[in-house]
Structures are given as structure tokens and as C-alpha cells.
Structure 1
Amino acid sequence: MGAGLVGREAERARAERLVAEVGTGVPRALAVRGEPGIGKSALLGHLAVVAGSAGFLVLSGRAAEYEQDLPFGAVVDAVDPFLGAWDGAAPAELAAVFPALGPGTAPSPVDRHRLHRAMADLLAILAARRPVLLVLDDLHWADAATVELVERLLRRPPPGPVLLAAALRSGSAATPLRAVLRAAERHGHVEAVDLGPLDACEADLLLDTVLPPGAPQRDRIAADAGGNPFYLLQLARAPGAPAGEGDNGQLPAPIVAALRAELRDLPRNAGLLLAAAAVAGDPFEIDVAAAAAGLAPDPALDALDELWARDLVRTTDAPRRFAFRHPVLRRAAYAAAGSGWRIGAHARAAAALAAAGGPAAMRAHHVERSAAAGDRDAVAVLSAAARDVAGVAPVTAARWSGAALRLLPATAAAERVELSEATAASLLAAGRLDQARPVLRAAVPLAADEATRVRLACGCADVEWRLGARAEGLRLLTDVLGRCTDPALAVRVRIALGTAHLWGADPSAAARWAVEARDTARDPGLRATAAALLAIATAHDDLDAARLAVAEAAAFLDRFPDTDAAHVDAFLFAGWAETSLECEAAAVGHLQRALAVAADAGRALVVPEIRYGLAVALAATGDVAGAARAADEAAEAARATGATDTLAWARLAHLHAALAAGDAATLARYAREAGPERDPSDLSASIDGAGRAMVEMAGGDAAAGVTLMLTAGGGPDLLQFARAYRPYWYLLLTDAELRRGRRDAAAGWAERARTAAEGLGLDGRTGWALRAEAAVRLARYEPAAELALRSAELLERAAYPLEAARSRALAGAALVAAGRRAAGAAMVDGAAATLAAHGAHGWAAAARERVGGAGGELSRREREIADLVADGCTNREIAERLTLSVKTVETHLGRAFGKLGVSSRSGLAARLRG
């Protein structure tokens, strides 16, 4: 047991329990929080020892205070040394992050979440051989890319025995990390340990390890340390240190004084090397530190020996690489060096790395801290570094391109515009829209030509309306349009105005601008984009106009090469419109092309919408696994860019695929992560409400599902939902009421489904409405097979294979209920086989259940409850006798009513007696 772990019995036991649980194959996560020096690292060290003894692969890394701009710093520190000696195959995407696998090509900024998935895949690969412990210490210093990765690993842990353990300071973590951990704790993804001070007995025991029992300074040290293990040991090392003023962050004045006392009598070269090592990094390369100190190799090595002898620095597993005894010591050494000296040291470190052929990203860390305004070489290094990391760490890329921008003279307008666009693109990829807006705004007046000004204005307006400042964006576009002299550029601005109105939930205004853009466009690509915009704008209420517009757009797009980023929106709008017009096969092609062009162009903001549309189209065509994958990627992209509404839509699409597949884990995660109920007029709240309704309906509480659906839809008219999809929502409400045994209410929803489908001219929507009506007829013991088969025919014509199979299953159940059991069972089996072949195992199981229940055959639980009803028991009495909830009893009873064609308890009893 390490000295820092005196006491901590409960915490050590908790860590050991986690190791045992992970050893059984279950992924777990631990977050250790506390003030500096409280023992977080010691607890992680104990965890590593326990895990190593249990046969775990232990990978340990630490974030560093002065390297918060180095992407994935702590993760690279932990994993790269292992990968350098590993003989296995790692996912190709990781070569862009880990030097041991490089050189690699960075992914597009719009797809960096695939890198997060690749890291999870790597951990899963390693865990397939033996359990893995990934330790990330000092995570409060983590860069933005690491925070994103940790959020992904907590929310979607790698399958298998993987334990993620992180330590961070309490109350001082960066806001994104605090939010990540709060969400992870709320959803049960991480266990948190908050370390407090040692009590008096524990502090006394710790002092016994460094001071004799009767030492006179023990009481003063214990009082000054306040139960903090690091402070106790540090004060014990320099017991005669004078009190001083605390000027080192959160460190108490006596600790600052003790650190200064420890460093005060260092020989000159040792002091220089220690300060230079603090500049070089933690851990640091001795050659870089020597160069930063201005020391020749031999004096530098002599100074290193002095630092090692005093236990100020320690060796690491890598040759010529050393680490500080504690991060606080590095901070003290860095702060003790003069500001001017540090500037020179960073410059010397950058020069040493350049001479050694170090990558721009390693040099940029030092160049940013040492370059003077007007230094064109520094601008080049920072710009190159930003380009290198833009795909994996857009926040860092924005910081470095922003630093280059600050170094450029105000007269370099063209270069400033170029760097401004690069900075904004990285900020947008990271979801930092509020930071990108002023960068773009400042660049618009600098544009030397009309084309650049229009491009910047359209990009800025896009950000404005996404931030809720639609009026400002519209004013900017209107002003630019008024000054346009190039007709083609004016068309682009009109398309941007229509797009702003479309996403601002004003499709009629969007349609007006789309028509004006289409009618004034001479370029066929721009005309196609305007037509596609018109198609999605009119798809809400004028499907004939939408069909004509999407046909016009598709005629051009289908012969258009994927080379011009300006046409990303054309592919997106066409694909979305086609999903509303039951042209999903065409939509898949257009949306996949949109994705490819967007990735090449770095159009991060539209990627979530593209992937969501792709998920909807794939689900309709019967590709359940592909739909789930696309929806999951849409959600990841939406989280990265902060697209709240699209995130809600993506989660709903993933939920739909999970219901089809019978994916209980995804259903449980959706229910667990559902946010609190909010004002349903908020679009994302309405979408989340619909998802919660679907979960409740699938989970047995149909009454709660109906209530949630009506709230989400804004009442029985479901005006919150697009007109083209209302028949489907009414079908769900019909099924829910039938499960409750409320056939009259179900008939009302089925009638609304029929009315909603009228006038759409869409076979699939009519098919949904007919299935709702057929289900009501079956529940009433009326002929329903012919109507259900007609529903299947229309859904097949719409190329909805899964929905057609579900209607055929209903037709089979109707045949069984009509006494044609063999024919009906065969039809249900065929429908279930079709569903299973497409991966819709959940729906296949539900289809087979129809045969078991049709014609009055109840499940075991339904028969058990029905018998108790016949005996005169109330629902509450039945619930208590069978250890069920009253709602569960009501659900089973409603199903029994539907299967037996009765509407009351007395009717049920009479049917059972018969």
C-alpha cells in the first residue's frame, strides 16, 4: 500500500470490487475526484496494481497542465508505448492519433466520431485477449479531443472487460468535462469517488513514514496540511520552510513556500534544466529540455543526474524520457522561471524539434508561446499544425489557426480571410458555433472579391440561424443580395435565404425563395439545388409540387460528378424530399453522395441531417442494421456539432431500428437517457416525447404511451408532426389502444389515420391507414384479412418490405381468427421469415405472437389473469397475487380482450366459460 493510501479503506474496496466485476466481462468506469494532492493518483496507482495482479493489461497516461492543446495527450501517453511493441492490428483510423501506428491520414473533421469508435474498437480487441484497465490521470487538464473521446467511451463503453479510470480535480474541471461526467453519473455510466482529507489518525500514520514519532514539527505540519497527503509529505521534506504568500493556483501558502525551499539551493545548471523541462513537457525528452535550457549535452546530463538524485524527476519506461515527481512540482518550476526566459525557452524548444524533424503539431505548442507578431515562419508552422489536427481535434486546430491569425499583420487581408475560414471551419466542426460567428463576421468586410464575400456571408448566416439569431442572418444575406452584381452569386444568396427559412420552420417562405432562385439560375447545378430546396419546402403540404421539383433536381444530380461542395445541399434536400415522397431508394443514393461531398468539403454542420435522412431511408427499404448504424452516426455527428433537434431525430430513428430488431439494450439506453419532459412546442422536446411514447408502448404501458404521444404531437391532430408521417403515428396510437382493450378509441385513431392519408397520393401512407383499420376489425371479430392484404399490397408498391410483411402478419392472424388456421399460420410464418431476414427480429417475434393469440388463444400470463378476472378479482388484487404492477395487469387484460373479441370483464368471463 502506497503512502498516499493510508486509510482509504472504502475507496480501495470499491476499486477492488470494480476490478472483480470487470473481470467477469462487464465494462465499468470510475471517476476519482478531489483537491490537488488528496490522493487521486495514489488511488489510481492502487487500482493499477490490483488490476495488474488480476491479469489486466494496464495502460496509464496523464494529461499535463501546459499541453492542453496537444490532441489526445493523456490517451497517447497511455496507449502509444504499448502499440509500439504490439503485434496486433489496430483500426486504421487510429494511425492519425498514435505515432506508433503512423503516419496516418487524418479523417475529415465531419467524421471524427469514427475515430472515437475506432478507439472503442481497439479497446474491445485488446479486451478479447485479457481485461483492460485504461487509466487517465489529471483529466482536468485534458484537451478537448480527449474530453470528446472520454464522453464517447462513457456513454457507449467498449464491449467486454474494459475498466476506464480517470482522476480529476473537484470543482476545477473544464465546463465540457463537468457536463460529461454529470451526464454519465446521471445515466449510471460511471461510478464517482470523492476523496476527502485524511483524519488525524491517518495523517499521523502517514507522517510516520517520513518523520520520527517525536519530531517537534509534526503538529505544525499536520495543521498546515489539513489532511492532504501530498501537502503532508511536501511539508515534511522541507519542514523549515518559511510561510509565504500563496501564488500558485489552489496551493496553500505553506506548500508554495515548501516547494520554493526545495528548489532554492539547486545548482545553476540543475535549476535551468528543471525550468526548461517544465517548458518541454511532462514527461519530457532530455534533448528538448537541454536545448530549451541552452545547455550542451554533457552539462545537461550532469544536471539531470542532480535532479534525479533529489527525486525531483524520475525515469520512465522510454529511454531519454523523464517525468516530474508530481505535476505540482512542474507547475512550481514553470512559475519560478521568468516570463521573458520562458518565451526564449519555448523558442529554443521549437527550434530543437524543427531540427529533429518534429511534426508541426509538436512545434506549434512552443511556437504559439514564443512567436512575435508578424513572424511569417510562425504563421506557417501554426497553420500547418492546424491542418494536421483538424480532422481529429478541431478545437486545437481552431486555437492554432486563430493564433496564426493574431500574428498576421492587419494589412494581410487575403491571408486573414483564408485563416479566418479555416478557424471557423474547425470551430463549426467542434460545435463551437458561438465562437465561429465573430470570426466569420470579422472576415466578411475583408473579402476582396464578391465571390468570397458571398461565401463568407452565407456561412455566417448559416451559423446565425442555428444559434437562434435568424433575423440577423437574414439581414446579412439581404444586404449581400442587394449588392450582388453577379447573377450566379445572387442565386446562391437566394438559396441561402430559402434554407434559413426552411430550417426556421417557415416552409412557405423557403418555397418562395426557392422559386425565385430556380427561375433566375442559369447554372444547372444551382438550378438543381433550388429545385431540391423547393421540393423539401413543399413536401409538407403540396406533394404534387414536391414531386415535380424533386424530379427536376434529380434529373441533374443523377448525372452530376461528386466534385463541387456547393451542391451538398442539393443532394441533402433531394434526399429528404424523397423520403417524404416514398422514393427511399433514390433518397439513399442522393444522401450517400451528399455525405461524400460534405466530408470532402468539411461541411460539418449538414452531416447530422444527412445521416439522419439516410437512417430513415434505409429503415424504409428494409436495411435495419444499416439504419441503426446511420442513426447512431447521425447522433454522434449531432452531438459533435451541437445540433440539438437533429440529435433528437437521430435518436428517434435509432429507436425505431431497435424496435424492429428487438434490440433491448438500445431500448433500455433510450429510456435511461431520455431527458426531463419539457415544453412540447420545443421541436427536440416533441421528438423526444414521441420516442418516449414508443418506448412505453413497446414496454407494456400503452396508456402512458398514448398520453406521451398526444403531448408530443400537440394534441389529437398531431400538428407537431409532418403531415406525411401522421398516418404512421395514428397507426401506433391505434395499436396502443387495442392493447388496452379500448376498441372504440382505437377505431377513432384508425379513422384519423385514413383521413391523414387521404390526398397524399402515397401508397405507403394509405397502407398504414388500412392496417390500422384492419387491426380494429380483427379486435371486433369482423373480417379483416382482405383489408390487411390490401394494406400489404400498397406497402409493397411503396417498396416498404418490412411494413408490408407486418400487414401480411396481421392478415394471417385475421385468417386464423376466421377459422382458416393453416392458411393464416403459413402467412404469418412467411411474414415473420421476411422480417427476420431483414434483421427485424423484434417485429418477427411480434408477428408470430399473433398466431398464438388469434382465434382466442391466450398466452400463459393472459390466461392466468383472465381466470382471476372470471373469479371476480379486481386488477389490484390480481397485481398483488401475481406480484405485478396494476398497469401490467391492465395491459395483459387489454390484449386478452382483443384476442377474444370482448370489451368487458363480464364478456371475458362468459367467453372463458364458453
Structure 2
Amino acid sequence: MEQLFGREAELARIGRFLQSVRHSGDVRLVCGDPGIGKSALLAATVDLADDAGMRVLRASGSEFEADVSYSLLNQLLLPLHADIQRLPPALRDALTVALGFGPGATPAALMICNAALSLVNTVAKKAPVLLVIDDLQWVDRPSAVALGFIARRVPGSPVGVVAASRTGTEGFLDRRGLTEVTVGPLTRDAGAQLLQARSPHLTPPARQRLLDLAQGNPLALVELPATLTDSDGRCSEQSGLVPLSEHLQAVFDARVADLPEATRLLLLLATFEGSGDVRVLRGMTSLDDLAPAERAQLVRVDDTTRRLAFRHPLIQSAIVAMSTHEERRGVHLAIAAALPADPERRAWHLSAATAGPDEAVAAHLEEAARHVIQRGDALAAVAALVRAAELSASAEDRARRLAEAAYIGAEAGGTSDASTLLTDARLTRLDPTGSLHAANAAALLMINGDGDVHTAHRLLAGAIEMGDHGWRADDPALDEAMHTLVLLSWYAGTSEHWAVFHRAMARLTPGPTDILSVMSRTFPDPVRTGAAALPELEALLSTLADEEDLTRVMRIGTASVYLDRLGDNREYSWRLVRQGRDGGAPRRQLSALMHLCLDDYLTGRWDEAEILAQEAQKVCTSSGLPFLTWYFLYNQAIIAAGRGRTEEAFRLADEITHWALPRGVAGAAAIAHHPRALAAAADGDFESAYLHATAVSRPGVLAPYVPISTWVMFDLVESAVRTGRTAEARAHADAMRAARIAALSPRMTLIQHGVDALVLDNDEADAQLERTLQDPASERWLFEACRIRLAFAERLRRRKEFSATRAHLLLARTGFAAMGAEPWLARTIVELRATGYRPVIADQPPAALTAQELEIAQLAASGLSNKQIAERLYLSHRTVGAHLYRIFPKLGVSSRAGLRDALSAQKTRPGKP
């Protein structure tokens, strides 16, 4: 290991870091000015790791390949090529394609991240692994996402990550939560030691002058003496007048200028190629001319890894600065010719070699953008399309590509850049495809700003209807525009807006694409058209496991909402959420969070629903997609209503309404009545519950194009019955039966039979409901099953069928307690008492405990862990821990061990009905 002067403290920290890596994994981000010694410390880390028997993987960001997806990951994992082949097939194929080792469909970013993590962890089972990355500021975005994904998951594994970047640079790595250290300048004494070791011939005045000039920068202390002193070791007079950075650049310019032309061109090739892989470079040209650069110590070749590394990035800057346009162009063309199997890198090198319009190169870049967007890297796709627009041979192609870039940017949330691109596109004549992309982008920008939905709908519908696109369903621009029109029509929520959409659908030839076909029937008006689309939805759901296009995954979830098939999407929704958390497309992440929150509400995972809704609100704000915030206000409002936080539920519902009405978002305004109806019912105010439920859909009428009406059907009928509106309740139940609501899903079957039992009040309806409640398919819908049991039990009690009443009430009590649905739980307990039920004393809550706290205390006393309790009660383990923290002092105990005795002591108290 090369001697490092004045770095004793840093070397000690490196030693401790490597110990931490060996035992539990660790991460360090190293920052510092150019030449301050970051690379030297990385080299020392590598030497110490090698001595400790670790497997070291090295890579360096390239300023000239920052637009090429996974270029750094290719460098980093190339030595593990054989290990990649031993991964499970799905992970192996994902890495093979992403790193350019083989052909195949573009894998999802999350799959690539998981594959890279699995590969590193697998190799680490043999020996601890250290990932070393230099010039982090130039790492391409997808590689930075993968690197961040790995870095956040190394704890607990013998894996370390150490990466260095220049101070003041950003790069694409999300650094939140990662430990950063800054490398400072050498002390004057350490600098003097280094200067004495490298330049012992300097005179004392020259030494002091150079120490003043270098300001503790090791690179300056090593390089400047040769150019700023004469043969007698004395400094030139003007050496202190030029900034240090310019001094250093001049040093390397001079050294590069002394190289033979063939050597300089070879170094230019290595600079632009980026990976430094000697085998790749040898495939492009002979390396015979590399020797002069090696002897001048400008580059070195590691015989073990077969990598060429520049001594310092300033050398690369000097090489590029001293090259001519034709030399740079020739090198880019040579690299492109050597990359026939890597269309993305090939396209970027061809574009770098192209000065004027070139439609062939523009087409290559456009195709590269298609691949990149499938991986979820919207910004890289926008960059490729913008460059393609610059190289377009015609004004129409330029405008079309700019418009598509604007649409992708607007859909991803980049409103300011998308607006600029859209403006640029409109300055040029748009062809039909460009017009559709432009209208699509404008509509999205409008609703994300202060524009109203009606204007956005009119703008996009006009572009679709007037466009000269031949109504070909396989036209990607038209398909994207139709999907946006679905959402705008849903937001507007009127038959007139939907009529425009259906007219356009009817003109598509030979017919709409598969997802659009299903969504057009399951999303706008599921009451009338949803059941017929079930077989096609089933076919789409069966493709999810192998689906690589994440936009399709998102849209299949949307098509599933009102047919209650979100449970089939959960695994894939989580995939989109995790991808978003690791830097993927926020629009997909938010859609997946919508779907998870809805499913959580229906199935009783209320703690998770609240946590995810809060996360989503933050994503809406940070990603420039404020329009979607209302949706997560709704998620929070229905949970607040279910848990009896009435004021909060009404406040959130009012916030939705106040935002929605001025913008014409009738769909959101209608949805806001759901939490109001639920909150009123929780408070026992069934008159208000009825008014809010009928504001969504009048009694006896299943309003067209108001899909949320299926979610308030039970609220409407129950509140009508409780307020003496028997005819209205019966009319609504009859309308539901006539529309065959039960055919939509097991959940709607449960609601239909629950409603029938309330309004028909006969043995046949009761028996049907009993059979439905016993069906395992009904168990998933925890909240509605419990509400229906409670309402049904109240009727049974009045008929003095106490045994059946208690059976339903006890099951409802358990479910309500698990969800923390306190108002419903309290009503259930009152009903139980009214049956003459006398619980064993242990079932009766001590005065200080809520029913949910008692449930948790009893399970904990039985020996279940927090995780087991959480799984049983549909809570998070953190929530269980928080409850126990409050339970202990209430029972006068300090640990779980005392719970059993504390609860047993309650048996000595007389029970009360």
C-alpha cells in the first residue's frame, strides 16, 4: 500500500469500517474536492480489504456515459459473470439483459435491483464483499438506483459499500440515511512530509510557496513542483496568481500533449468507452500504443481485474479538451460499431458523433427511449427523446418527439420541464402523433396545476376526434391518449363526458387494446358492464406474474378496483411501491398505493392503510403530482370514520370537496360523501348517513357512471331502514337485484344478501345470508362482513333467536376489535349484553382498557409474539408494541410476564351484564 502522509485517522476509520462490514455490513459515502485524496483512500481501502480476504468489486462513474443505463452496474458486476449464471432464472435473466450480456425483454428496475442484491449476497456467503465506486457524481441514474437499493439493505450481511464523489456535486444517488464522511486537506506538517518525499530538491522558499499554493491538496503537492519550479528547485514568480484548479489542469494538459498521437487517441477511446474493460477495448482497437501512457503514469492496468484506470479524472478532461471534433466523432463511431447488441449505448454514441440532423440516429434514440421507459426511468427516456428531437430531419418529427417527451415528463410529475418541452413542440408544426402527445401532456399539466377537468377533457377529446391517425388501436400515442381520457371522464363524472369516450372507443380498429377494452367496462359503470368483462379481467390478472411492462401492471390494477380484485394485484402493487421508493416512476407508485389502501380498508388492514396514505401524500408533494392528493385524503377519511374519529373524517371530506368542485372533479366530490355517511353511521346519526349516501345515488336508482355507488349501497339501505324509510330501502335492494350486483364479486354478493336480509326479513333471505357468511370468500371483507353480522344480529335478537345472535355478534366483536373500529365494537357489546350474554370475566375488559387493548393483552398473555398478534389482528407489529406500552401501566405490570396474573385477577371481580 502506498504511503499516505497525514491520513492516520482516516486509515484507522477504514480499519473499523472493514470490521463493521465483516460483521454486519456497512456503507460510507466519501466526499471531497478534486485531488484531495479520495481515490488514494479508496485504493487504501481496497488494499486493506484484499489483505483481509474480502472480495472487492470496483467501478467508476464516467462523465461520458452518464446517459447510458446500467453502465456502472455493468462495470461493477462484470467480474461476477459466472456467478450470475447460477442465480435463479428470473434474477439471472434480469441481470443478463440489463447489463447487456444477452438479449431479452427489458426487465423491471425492481427486478434488476433485487437480482443485483441477491448476486452480491450470494457471493458474500463465501467471503465478505466490498463494493468500491469512484466518481459517484457521474454514475448513470439506473445504476445509482440499484446502488442505493443495495446500500440500504446491507445491514445484517457481510457486504460493504464505499463510494466517493466530489464536494458540491449531486448525482443520482439518493443519499438519505447513508453515512457521509468528508476528506479534508492535509495539515501543513503532513503536506511538508509529502512534498519532502516527492520533491526533496526544493529550496525552503519554494517549499513554503508550494505549501501555500496547494492548501493541503495532495494532488497539487505531487504534480505542481515539476511545472512551477526550475531545475534548481526555485518557484517561478507568477505561480500563485492562477487558481489551483487551473494549475492542475495545465499540468495534465502538458503531460497529455507529450504523448504520441496514437496513444492520445487510444486514451480518448478509453475515456468515451467508460468501462475501462481491457477486453472490450481490445475488441475495438489494438492496445499496443498504450505503453507511453503507462510509463508516464497517466493510466495503469490492473492485471487481475483487467481494467484500465486513469490516475485522475483531470487527465480525461485534458484528453477530451485537446482532441479535435473529427477525432471525437471517429472515436464515438468506433464505439457504436462495437456495440451492436447494446442499442441504448450505441444510440448515445451515434448521437455524440452526429452534429446535424440525422433521422436514422434520431430513430435509434427514440427506440432507446422506449426501452428505458419500460424500466421506469422517465427522465432518461425524456433525455433520449429530446436529443432525438434535436437530430430530427423534419420539423414534424422534431415536434412529435418533443411532444412525447413532454407527455412522459408530465405523466411522471415533472411539470416545469414538461411545460417547456410542450411549448417548444408547439412552436413547430405537429403531425397527428405529435398532436396527441402534446394534447395528452397539456391535459395532464392542466389538471396538475389549477386548470379544470372539463377543459382538459375537451382539449384531449378534440385532439383524439380531429386527429388524422386512422383510429388504429395499435398506435401507442392514441392508446395513451385514450387511457388519459378514461381518467378525465371518471374525474368529470357525467354521462356526457363518458359518451365522448365511448364514441372514440367505437371507432378504434380493429378494436381497443386488451387493457383498454377491460377498463372501459369495469371502471366507468361497473354496475351495468362490469360482470361481462370478468373473463377478460381474469385473463389479464393471469399475466401479472410474467408482466414486465410496469405501466400495464398499474393499469390492470385500475381495471380491478370495482370488481374487487385488488387482492390479486397486491404482490404486484407492492412491486411498484418498492420500485418507486427506490427511485422509480412516482405515478406508478401512487397508483399502487391507491390500490393497496383501498384493499386494506376492505380487508381490515387499517393501520397499514393509514401509514400508506400518509406516505402517498408526501410522494404527491415531492413528485409534482398534487392532483392525486385528494385520493389519499379519502383513504384517511374512511379509516377515521370507521374508527369513530368523526370530526377528522368530516374535515378531510370537506377538504376534498372544497378542492374538487372548483376544478370540476365531480368524481372526487361524490366520493367525499362516503366517509361522511360512514362517520354519521358510526355516531348513530342514521338520518345524516342516509342523506350522504343518497347524495351519491338516489334510493332505487343505481346512478350511471358513479362507480362509488357500489361502495355505499349497504350504508344507504341500513340507514333507510333505521330511519323508517322502508319503501326506499326495499326499492334500492330491488334495483341491486335487478342489476345483478352479486355477479360482480364475492364482496358484492355479501352486500346483496346482507341488504336482502334487512329489507325482506324472511327465512329464505336469512338462510341465504347465513350461507354467504359461512363462505370463505366472504371472510376477506372483514369490515363489511362484521357490519352485516351486527345488523343481522340485531334483527335476530328482536326475534329472540339468542343463540344465532350471539354467534354473529361474537365474530363481529373480534373483527371490530382487530380493526380498532371502536363505535361498531361498542354497539356490538351492547347487543351482546341485550341477549343476556354473560362473558367469562377474562372476556370483560378492565375499566381502564379498551376492547382492542384487552384483546391484545389476552393474546400477549397467551404467549404470542408481537408479530403473531399483529398478523392475527391485521395490525402492524409496531402498533401492537405501542398498545402494550399503554396496557402495562393500566394493569399495574411492567412486562409481558405479569399480564397473565393481572388478567386472572379480574376473575375475582363480579361480572356485569
Give SS of 1:67's match.
Answer: coil
| Cα distance change of structure 1 residues 489 and 426 upon mapping to structure 2, 3 Å threshold | closer
Say whether 1:224 aligns with 2:213. Answer: yes
Q: Work out whether 1:137 is the aligned partner of 2:134.
A: yes
Amino acid at match of 1:507: A
Select the residue among 36, 56, 59 that pairs with 2:57.
59
Deviates more, 1:221-230 or 1:764-773: 764-773
| 2:683 counterpart of 1:747 | yes
Q: Distance in 2 between matches of 1:627 and 1:244?
A: 66
Question: Of the candidates 788, 796, 801, which is equivalent to residue 778 of structure 2?
Answer: 801
Residue type matched to 2:104 in 1?
G
| Alignment correspondent of 1:468 | 449
Is the 8 Å Cα contact of residues 717 and 755 (structure 2) preserved in structure 1? Answer: yes
- Residue 313 of structure 1 and its aligned partner are, at CA, apart by 0.7
* 1:794 positional shift: 10
1:414/1:448 contact within 8 Å kept: yes
1:314 aligns with 2:296: no
Q: Which residue in the other structure is 2:498 paired with?
A: 514
State the Cα distance separating 1:275 from its structure 2 match: 4.4
The offset of 1:503, in angstroms, is 3.5
Residues 390 and 801 of structure 1: is their aligned pair in 2 closer, same or farther, counting only changes over 3 Å? same
**Aligned residue in 1 for 2:319:** 333
**Match of residue 613 from structure 1:** 558
Quote the Cα distance in structure 2 between the aligned partners of 1:683 and 1:288: 50
| Cα distance in 2 between the residues matched to 1:639 and 1:169 | 23
Whole-Å separation in 2 of the counterparts to 1:17 and 1:774: 69
Which residue of the partner structure matches residue 543 of structure 1?
A: none
Please give the per-residue CA displacement for 1:685-739, whole angstroms capped at 9, x wherever unaligned: 44445666789999xxx79x666544432279999795776686468758xxxxx
Q: Secondary structure at the match of 2:521?
A: helix
CA displacement at 1:350 relative to structure 2: 1.6
SS in 1 for 2:352: coil
Q: In structure 2, what is the Cα distance between the partners aligned to 1:732 and 1:890?
A: 33
Give me the whole-angstrom Cα distance separating, in 2, the residues matched to 1:92 and 1:280: 25
Q: Which of 78, 81, 84 is the equivalent residue of 2:79? A: 81
Is the CA contact (8 Å cut-off) linking 1:754 and 1:769 kept in structure 2?
yes
Aligned to 1:553: none
Cα distance, 1:478 vs. partner? 8.0
Shift in alpha-carbon separation, 1:517–1:404, aligned structure 2, 3 A: closer
Cα drift, residue 811 of structure 1: 8.3
Counterpart mapping for 1:819-838 below 5 A: none
Does structure 1 residue 196 correspond to structure 2 residue 184?
yes
In structure 2, do the counterparts of structure 1 residues 66 and 670 end up closer, same or farther at CA, with 3 Å as the change threshold?
Answer: same
Q: Would the aligned equivalents of 1:65 and 1:141 in 2 still touch at CA under 8 Å?
A: yes
Q: CA deviation at 1:200?
A: 3.7
Alignment of 1:251-400 (within 5 A): 252-263=245-256, 265-267=258-260, 269-281=262-274, 283=276, 285=278, 297=286, 301=288, 303-316=289-302, 321-335=307-321, 337-338=322-323, 341-351=324-334, 353-354=336-337, 359-375=342-358, 378-379=361-362, 382=365, 389=372, 391-392=374-375, 395-400=379-384
Residue pair 2:650, 2:679 contacting (<8 A) in 1 also: no
What code does the residue aligned with 1:225 have? A
State how far apart, in whole Å, the 2-side matches of 1:696 and 1:30 are: 42
Please show how residues 580-729 of structure 1 align to structure 2 within 5 Å.
Answer: 586=533, 589-590=536-537, 593=540, 610=555, 613=558, 616=561, 620-621=564-565, 624=567, 626-630=569-573, 632-633=575-576, 636=579, 647-648=589-590, 650-655=592-597, 675=618, 683-689=627-633, 708-714=648-654, 722=668, 729=675
2:806 and 2:56 map into 1 onto residues whose CA distance is 55
Partner residue, 1:529: none
Output aligned runs, 1:777-816, within 5 Å: 793=769, 801-802=778-779, 804-806=781-783
In 2: Cα distance, 1:475 partner to 1:717 partner: 23
Q: 1:452 to 1:311 in 2, by over 3 A?
A: closer
Post-superposition offset of 1:461: 3.9
Distance 2:597 2:336 in 1: 50
Structure 2 CA distance for aligned equivalents of residues 753 and 205 of structure 1 = 82
Shift, 1:222, TM fit: 3.1
CA contact (8 A) 2:95 2:112 kept: yes
AA aligned opposite 2:572: R
In the superposition, relative to structure 1, how do residues 500 and 82 fare at CA in structure 2: closer, same or farther (>3 Å)?
A: same
Q: TM-score, normalised by structure 1?
A: 0.65
Maintained 8 Å contact 2:779/2:785: no
**Secondary structure class of the residue paired with 2:449:** coil
CA distance in 1, matches of 2:840, 2:529: 37
Whole-Å Cα distance in 2 between the matches of residues 891 and 727 of structure 1? 40
Structure 1 Cα separation of the partners of residues 608 and 21 of structure 2: 19
Instruction: Provide the C-alpha distance between the structure 1 equivalents of 2:13 and 2:378, rounded to a whole number of angstroms.
Output: 40
In the alignment, the residues of structure 2 paired with residue 94 and residue 773 of structure 1 have an alpha-carbon distance, to the nearest angstrom, of 59
CA-CA distance at 1:204 after TM superposition: 4.8
Contact between 2:787 and 2:812, CA under 8 Å: does it hold in 1?
Answer: no
Contact 2:279/2:306 (8 A) holds in 1: yes
Q: Please give the alpha-carbon distance, in whole angstroms, between the structure 2 residues aligned to 1:357 and 1:223.
A: 52
Query: After superposition, what is the alpha-carbon deviation per residue over 1:338-358, rounded to whole angstroms, capped at 9, x for unaligned?
Result: 4xx243243245236526856
Aligned position for 2:868: none
Which structure 2 residues correspond to residues 519-558 of structure 1 after superposition, within 5 A?
524=506
On the 8 A contact 1:373/1:407 being kept in 2, the answer is yes
Amino acid at match of 2:518: F
Q: Measured at CA, do residues 568 and 56 of structure 1 come closer, stay the same or move farther in structure 2, by a change above 3 Å?
A: same
Give, as a single letter, the amino acid of the residue that structure 2 aligns with 1:332.
A
Q: Shift of residue 70 of structure 1?
A: 1.7
Q: Deviations over 1:440-488 (max 9, x none)?
A: 6666797797x54764554444444355375786785587589679997
1:584-608: CA deviation from partner (whole Å, max 9, x where unpaired): 99579549749989x9998x8x758
Rounded Cα–Cα distance in structure 1 between residues aligned with 2:307 and 2:882: 63
With over 3 angstroms needed to count, the CA separation of the structure-2 counterparts of 1:215 and 1:270, relative to structure 1, is farther
Distance 1:423 1:494, change over 3 A: closer
Share of identical aligned residues, percent? 20
- Give secondary structure in 2 for the equivalent of 1:171: coil
- 1:218-253 per-residue CA deviation (whole Å, 9 max, x = no partner) reads 433332232334444444676638667999xx9623
SS at match of 1:224: helix
What TM-score results when the alignment is normalised by the length of structure 2?
0.65
**Stretch deviating more after TM superposition (752-761 or 716-725):** 716-725
Instruction: Compute the displacement of 1:370 (Å).
Output: 2.7
In structure 2, the CA distance between the partners of 1:232 and 1:864, relative to structure 1 (3 Å rule), is farther
Counterparts in 2 of 1:368 and 1:453: CA distance versus 1, 3 Å: closer
Residues 890 and 517 of structure 1, relative CA distance in 2, 3 Å threshold:
same
Which runs of 5 or more structure 2 residues have no equivalent in the other structure? Answer: 230-234, 661-666, 703-708, 723-752, 759-767, 833-837, 851-880, 892-907
1:548 aligned partner: none
C-alpha displacement of 1:66:
1.6
Task: Write the distance in 2 (CA, Å) between the matches of 1:208 and 1:36.
Answer: 22
Question: Which position in structure 2 is the counterpart of 1:576?
Answer: 523
- Give the 3 Å change call, closer, same or farther, for CA 265–347 of structure 1 in structure 2: closer
C-alpha spacing 1:9/1:863, structure 2 compared with 1 (3 Å): farther
Taking a change above 3 Å as real, the CA distance of residues 424 and 774 of structure 1, as seen in their structure-2 partners, is: same
- In structure 1, stretches of 5+ residues that fail to align are 527-559, 735-744, 776-785, 868-882, 894-908
Question: Equivalents in 2 of 1:889, 1:391: separation in Å?
Answer: 50
**Cα distance in 2 for residues equivalent to 1:615 and 1:245:** 70
Q: Secondary structure at the match of 1:68?
A: coil
**Which aligned pairs between 1:442-481 and structure 2 lie closer than 5 A?**
452=433, 455-456=436-437, 458-465=439-446, 468=449, 470=451
Structure 1 Cα separation of the partners of residues 595 and 124 of structure 2: 30
Q: Counterparts of 2:4 and 2:178 in 1: how far apart (Å)?
A: 24
Is the Cα contact below 8 Å between 1:57 and 1:131 reproduced in 2?
yes
* Residues in 2 aligned to 1:601 and 1:444: alpha-carbon distance in whole angstroms: 33
CA distance in structure 2 between the partners assigned to 1:697 and 1:17 by the alignment: 50
Separation in structure 2 between the aligned mates of residue 584 and residue 693 of structure 1, nearest angstrom: 29
User: Contact (CA 8 Å) 2:134, 2:164: kept in 1 or not?
Assistant: yes
